Chain A
Amino acid sequence: MSESYEVVIGLEVHVELKTASKLFCGCTNLFGQEPNTHTCPVCLGMPGALPVLNQQAVALATRAALALSCDVHPFSKFDRKQYFYPDLPKAYQISQYDQPLATEGHVTIRGEFGMRSIGIERIHLEEDAGKLNHIGQRLGDATGSLVDLNRAGVPLIEIVSRPDMHSPEEARLYLTELRTVLSYLDISDLRMEEGSMRCDANISLRPSSYTGSLVDLPRVEIKNVNSFRNVQRGIEHEIVRQKALLEQGIRVVKETRGFDDAAGTTYSQRSKEAANDYRYFPEPDLPPLILDTEWLEAQKREMPDLPEALRHSLTTEGLVSRDVEVLVQDRALYGFWREVVAIFPDVKLVTNWLLSDYSRHMNAQGLSFDTPGVSAEHLAQLLGLIQDGTLSGKMAKEVLEAMFTTKESPEAVVQRLGLSQITDQEAIRVIVAEVITANPGVVADFQGGKDKALAFLVGQVMKATKGQAKPNLVNSLLREAIASHV
């Protein structure tokens, strides 16, 4: 009898917090500095140095926990997690073990299946390790490593999901929504390529005949994958690999695996140490953390509008759900949209232009909405010119393209290119009169009942105005003129 398997996925996400200083010392928390220029006895792990907790890191971690609907615990404590590795100067990491800052939250994902809630087991605070630069192409061929401890002691939160995801797609949706929620809090750069957001994925396959507990299933952890896409690819590969093993009656080994981007496959790194091998014990240098109600309330007051609330308000403002998702998932884009709408309140026109032509130019220039290629004021002015009839949609596209190149105001581009749609009735009347005089035969045809003849005359006027007259205005002026032209 052939067995079927249920995919079980849990994700651990590390997020570096955007504080000015490190978690337990006053060294600068900044990416991309000269190696070992931001270290001190505390983060170098010198004997006798004492850590002191950074209040702002607790504040940012608390806001993350609140945004993910967690219970924030008034009492939590720090523990030492012991392991030897060259990026860890103290040979232990200060983390939180059995009494973390927050537990029991969730993230809501949306897909073809509708909406699903993915549980968050816990969020805890911990310090980052240093950075290893391997000498040689790959870790496997490296002849040695160079240790930079600027990152050692940078504040991190680890967000541990429940094993609630059952496909690579669900894992991707969870990560996307998690990042979206966190982006509105502005607590981290959330850049996977710079390591300010990192993801480990735990994957196991549960045979349909399996009746034991989930924790006893052999679990494979894929470590430090550098993009959401690769998390998804790594999981996809792992499902295929584990299934093939199980179908041959081979046990899946509980281990840590790396992801090979080029091959799209995972490879064995080491067998996973059990939690008690880390020999956690309470950090004697740090007293417990007690958060009083007043402090927690102050953090709640710092909370911005979150994606769920924004989805609701944008839908109420008349946007379709597809546009709502695009706007909400990019905080900078959403902020820019708000700016434009504040100046030019036609929500539909703003959304249409922003999500189509404007975004296309942004992509073409490789820009993000933190640095918009055309300012909100200029875009609002351009939309104003469409609304008052100065520009046709086609002309406006041309103007926008020029604005992205020259950074001019729309008025300046319109003047420079001589693009304005002629709405001045007197100016058009003169041309209409000329066209009527020049085409007596066609006019007679129209008067004789040939409606199509009018289209020819409209075309002649448009040609004479280089397409800058409004066709429906030309049409009515022509009818008017012919009626009085006996």
Chain B
Amino acid sequence: MLLSKEDVLHVANLARLSVEPSELQEIQDTLSRVLEYIDLLNELDTEQVVPTSQVVEQHTVWRSDQVEKSLPIALAIQNGPQVVTGMFVVPKILDGGGQ
């Protein structure tokens, strides 16, 4: 088994997913099988291959520093379930986190 139950719970926590104890075994099995499948890639010899972070042959796509029109505020906030004084309302933050 590639993943332990703790790994599953940890990943679930990072993804803000709640996992029922009854589901844990199944997720552990299936997620491990996904990783095993990806492990197939390790059979390739990439020793001589330069790592790549992109599949398109483009680089340095940039724009000049020009201001463009922003959305009207009514449009910008229209998807907010709750909006007060032009700002999105979110529930209380417990851990005081951020980046």
Contact = CB atoms under 8 A, between A and B. Distances in A.
A-B pairs with the 7 shortest C-beta distances?
A26-B68, A56-B65, A282-B53, A146-B87, A147-B88, A86-B90, A53-B62
A129 B98 contact: yes
Contacts of B56: 287
A288 B59 contact: yes
A54 B62 contact: yes
Contact of B89 (A25, A129, A146, A286): A146
A36 B60 contact: no
Contacts of A269: 95-97
Residue of B16, B71, B89 contacting most chain A CB atoms (<10 Å): B71
30 contacts: A19-B65, A21-B65, A26-B68, A26-B69, A36-B87, A36-B88, A37-B76, A41-B71, A52-B62, A53-B61, A53-B63, A54-B63, A55-B63, A55-B64, A77-B54, A83-B99, A85-B97, A139-B93, A142-B93, A144-B90, A144-B91, A145-B89, A147-B89, A256-B97, A270-B96, A270-B97, A279-B14, A282-B53, A287-B60, A288-B54
Given A19-B65, A56-B65, A39 B99 contact: no
Interface in A124-163: 129, 132-134, 139-140, 142-149
B70 interface: yes
Contact of B96 (A39, A58, A139): A139
Contacts of A139: 93, 96
Interface string A114-132: 0000000000000001001
A143 B99 contact: no
B73 A54 contact: no
A286 B65 CA distance: 17
B85 interface: yes
A129 B56 CA distance: 28
A307 B38 CA distance: 53
B95 A28 contact: no
A287 B68 CA distance: 22
Nearest to B56: A287
Residue of A25, A81, A99 contacting most chain B CB atoms (<10 Å): A25
Nearest to B88: A147
A366 B68 CA distance: 37
B66 interface: yes
Contacts, number: 146
Contacts of B92: 142-145
B97 A133 contact: no
B58 interface: yes
A144 B66 contact: no
A101 to B, nearest CB: 13
Interface residues of A, number: 63
A31 interface: no
Contact size range, B? 35 or more
A29 to B, nearest CB: 8
Interface of A: 19-21, 25-28, 34-41, 44, 52-58, 77, 81-88, 93, 99, 129, 132-134, 139-140, 142-149, 223, 256, 258, 269-270, 277, 279, 282, 284, 286-291
Contact of B99 (A86, A129, A258, A284): A129
A247 B55 CA distance: 54
Residue of B65, B66, B73 contacting most chain A CB atoms (<10 Å): B65
B59 A287 contact: yes
Contacts of B95: 269-270
Given A25-B68, A147-B87, A279-B14, 17 more contacts: A27-B67, A36-B73, A36-B76, A44-B76, A52-B63, A53-B63, A55-B64, A57-B65, A83-B97, A85-B97, A85-B98, A93-B99, A140-B96, A148-B86, A149-B76, A288-B54, A290-B59
B77 interface: yes
Nearest to B98: A85
A480 B96 CA distance: 84
A224 to B, nearest CB: 8
Contacts of A144: 89-92
Residue of B69, B70, B98 contacting most chain A CB atoms (<10 Å): B70
Contacts of A57: 65
Contacts of B58: 287
B85 A290 contact: no
Contacts of A25: 68
A282 to B, nearest CB: 4
B84 interface: yes
B34 to A, nearest CB: 15
A40 B70 CA distance: 5
A14 B88 CA distance: 25
Contact of A87 (B73, B96, B98): B98
Nearest to B16: A84
B54 A146 contact: no
B87 A148 contact: yes
A37 B73 contact: yes
A21 B66 contact: yes
Contacts of B96: 139-140, 258, 269-270
A26 B99 contact: no
Contacts of B14: 82, 277, 279
A287 B85 contact: no
A168 B71 CA distance: 45
A35 B86 contact: yes
Contacts of B87: 35-36, 133, 146-148
A132 B93 contact: yes
